[in-house]
Structure 1
Amino acid sequence: MHSMTGFGRGSATAEEGTATVEIACVNRKQAEVVIQAPRELLELEPKIRKAVLNAISRGRIQINIQFERASGQGSPSSVDLRLVDALESAFARISEHTGRRVSPEAADFLRSPGLIRLEDGGMSGEAAWPAIEPALEVALEQVLAMRLAEGEDLARDLFARLVLLEKIAASIALLAPGRPERYKEQLLKRLRDAGLELELQDERVLRELVVFADRCDISEETTRLDAHFRRFREYMTGSEPAGRSLDFLCQEIHREFNTIGSKASDAAIAQHVVEAKTELEKIREQVQNIE
């Protein structure tokens, strides 16, 4: 089981230069990949996304890429020779007009817009990929290792809380069979307090007890809770990302405890339901961190 938070940094050098890749992951319901890189490297975005999404299925993944060209691999330049000739010709005409030699200096050429053009980076994504790919792999390995370590911590916490939920459910299951008997005693006491001395065998009393016993039966809910708990463990120990499935199970478990609380109409059971829902909320908070 993996968490959705992690960080990794990788660096690699190839013929064209050195690439540094940083990956930071945080919680997100869906997978979202955000890439920040020099403009000339953005053509690699499909490759990078594919590599990342093959390893990570959920979370916001921020990827920063830096590339430093190898020594001697400076940005190529071009010179507008026609503009050079025009500048030389202009100074020659000035010399002819003034009758004295006026020669252009280097600064004159540099101040001429468009005479010298530096190409934008001059680096293609394909040329940089041999350095970026291994750097990306190292960063991904570090991210996955961190997510796995945190996932193991989350799993230990979830298992402990799940055991507590199972104990609460077991306590409720022990109390449930005695609920009709307790209701019978309460009903007869209310009748006596109201001055209505009805026998237990009275048809009206029996009908009321039968209806209540049927209404407060929570055997279906406790059975479904046991099934949810087993499935919860299966998801946590499985090899597939379990975050969405665990979140759904938390909703189902919450629904079962809610139904138990409303059907049982018993103070002792209601107290257990409150404890269970409090613990379940803590579980749901932790599940939000799971991939």
Structure 2
Amino acid sequence: MRSMTGYGRGETDHAGTRFSVELNSVNRKQSDIVINLPRDLAELEPRIRQTINENISRGRTNAIITLHSGTDGARNLALNTELARSYHEAMRMLQKELNAPGEITISTILQAPGVMRFPEEALNAEEAWPAVERALRAALADLIRMREREGKHLAKDLIHRLKAIRKKLKEVRALHPDVVKRYRGALLDRIQKAGLPIASEDERVLKEISFFADRADVSEELTRLESHLAQFAHHLRSKEPVGRTLEFI
């Protein structure tokens, strides 16, 4: 038995790029998959969705795929010198306008937006798929492990509740045979207290007792409940999705 809530993460490296996949799932009767991935990998969405569907049949699953450039990107560092000159000139003019003392350093200029950048090369989605798939399957395995752990805790709690219900069921079965007998005694006691001239074997008394016995007979319900408890316990031990079955029972 698995819970529908869980979290999983997987990572892998390919050609200087790290691929990270995060998955989280929450309760939902139907299967619902939401995928968030970089534009360069958009064409991989159907494969990602299919892979998730093959492993998770119920619940809402959110998948987040991110890319992290490695140290190799430092070789492609680009400086926008024209923009740097413009920043420098603007800083000097502002400094003069405000009569503000201070030194304009190269460090200050390099921190200005757009002066220093790392050009991004287009990523080939087809070539990246094996790496994405490895990270995805690692995240799925992590997610499923967590769902199984939580499922075991839920099953343990449900088994404890089943035992409590079975105990009550046993008590009800023990009391059931005496219900009609107690009702007969109570009925005759009320007749006697009322001073009515009716004998215990009077046809009207016997008819009332018979009518009550039919209404009070819960043998079939007790047997059905016992069967449901047995089926519930059986399905709790299953490794297949059993949420809908347990809900029906």
How far apart are 1:125 and its partner, in Å? 2.5
Number of residues paired by the alignment?
212
* TM-score normalised by length of structure 1: 0.67
Tell me the alpha carbon deviations over residues 112-169 of structure 1, each in whole angstroms, 9 at most, x when there is no partner.
xxxxxxx996224223212111001111111111111111111111111101101111
1:51 aligns with: 51
**1:245 and 2:245 are equivalent in the alignment:** yes
Q: Which runs of 5+ in 1 are unaligned?
A: 76-105, 112-118, 250-291
Q: Which amino acid aligns with 2:185?
A: E
Matches within 5 A, 1:179-190: 179-190=179-190
What's the offset of the Cα at 1:42? 2.1
In 2, Cα distance between the equivalents of 1:74 and 1:157? 57
2: distance between equivalents of 1:35 and 1:74?
32
- Residues 208-223 of structure 1: matches in 2 within 5 Å? 208-223=208-223
Kindly provide the amino acid, as one letter, of the partner of residue 221 in structure 1.
E
CA–CA distance in 2 between the matches of 1:173 and 1:121? 75
- Could you say if the C-alpha distance between residues 74 and 35 of structure 1 is closer, same or farther in structure 2, counting changes exceeding 3 Å? farther
Q: Distance in 1 between matches of 2:74 and 2:125?
A: 15
Q: Secondary structure at the match of 2:32?
A: strand
Q: Compute the displacement of 1:33 (Å).
A: 0.9
Contact 1:16 1:127 in 2 (8 A): no
| Structure 2 CA distance for partners of 1:122 and 1:206, relative to 1, 3 Å | same
Deviations 1:240-266 (A, max 9, x none): 1111111111xxxxxxxxxxxxxxxxx
When normalised by structure 2's length, the TM-score is 0.78
CA gap 1:73/1:52 in 2 versus in 1, 3 angstroms: farther
Cα 1:121–1:63, aligned 2, differ >3 Å: closer, same or farther? farther
Q: Distance in 2 between matches of 1:131 and 1:183?
A: 75
Change (3 A) 1:185 1:131: same
Query: Hey, what does 2:92 align to over in structure 1?
Result: none
SS of equivalent to 1:19: strand
Check whether the contact 2:2–2:239 (CA below 8 A) recurs between aligned residues.
no
Residue 175 of structure 2 aligns with an amino acid whose one-letter code is: L
Task: Say whether the 8 Å CA contact 1:14–1:130 is kept in structure 2.
Answer: no
In 2: Cα distance, 1:27 partner to 1:184 partner? 52
Contact 1:19/1:135 (CA < 8 Å) preserved in 2? yes
Alpha-carbon distance, 1:17 to partner: 2.5
The one-letter code matched in structure 2 to 1:15 is: A
The SS at the match of 1:179 is helix
- Alpha-carbon distance in 2 for matches of 1:74, 1:217: 85
Cα offset, 1:38, TM superposition? 1.1
Residues 1:161 and 2:195 are matched in the alignment: no
Q: CA separation in 1, counterparts of 2:75 and 2:244?
A: 49
TM alignment of 1:141-290, pairs within 5 A: 141-249=141-249
Distance of 1:24 and 1:240 partners within structure 2: 20
In structure 1, give the amino acid aligned to 2:29.
K
Distance of 1:211 and 1:168 partners within structure 2: 26
Report sequence identity in percent: 42
**Secondary structure in 1 matching 2:60:** strand
**Deviation (angstroms), 1:197:** 2.7
Q: SS in structure 2 opposite 1:47?
A: helix
Q: Distance in 2 between matches of 1:54 and 1:188?
A: 68
For residues 159 and 51 of structure 2, the distance between their equivalents in structure 1, rounded to whole angstroms, comes to: 32
Name the structure 2 match of 1:125. 125
- 1: distance between equivalents of 2:135 and 2:11? 5
- Counterpart CA distance in 2 for 1:209 and 1:14 is 83
| CA displacement, residues 78-132 of structure 1 (integer Å, 9 cap, x when unaligned) | xxxxxxxxxxxxxxxxxxxxxxxxxxxx849xx9xxxxxxx99622422321211
State the match for 1:36 in structure 2: 36
| 1:93-132 alignment runs, 5 A limit | 107=82, 122-132=122-132
- Does the residue aligned with 1:186 lie in a helix, a strand or coil? helix
Query: What is the root-mean-square deviation in Å for CA atoms of aligned residues?
Result: 2.4
Structure 2 residue identity aligned to 1:51: T
1:62 aligns with 2:62: yes
Q: CA deviation at 1:182?
A: 0.9
Distance, in Å, in 2 between the alignment partners of 1:191 and 1:6 is: 65
Q: CA deviation at 1:48?
A: 1.0
Structure 1 residue runs of 4 or more that deviate by more than 6 Å after TM superposition:
none
Deviation at 1:236? 0.5
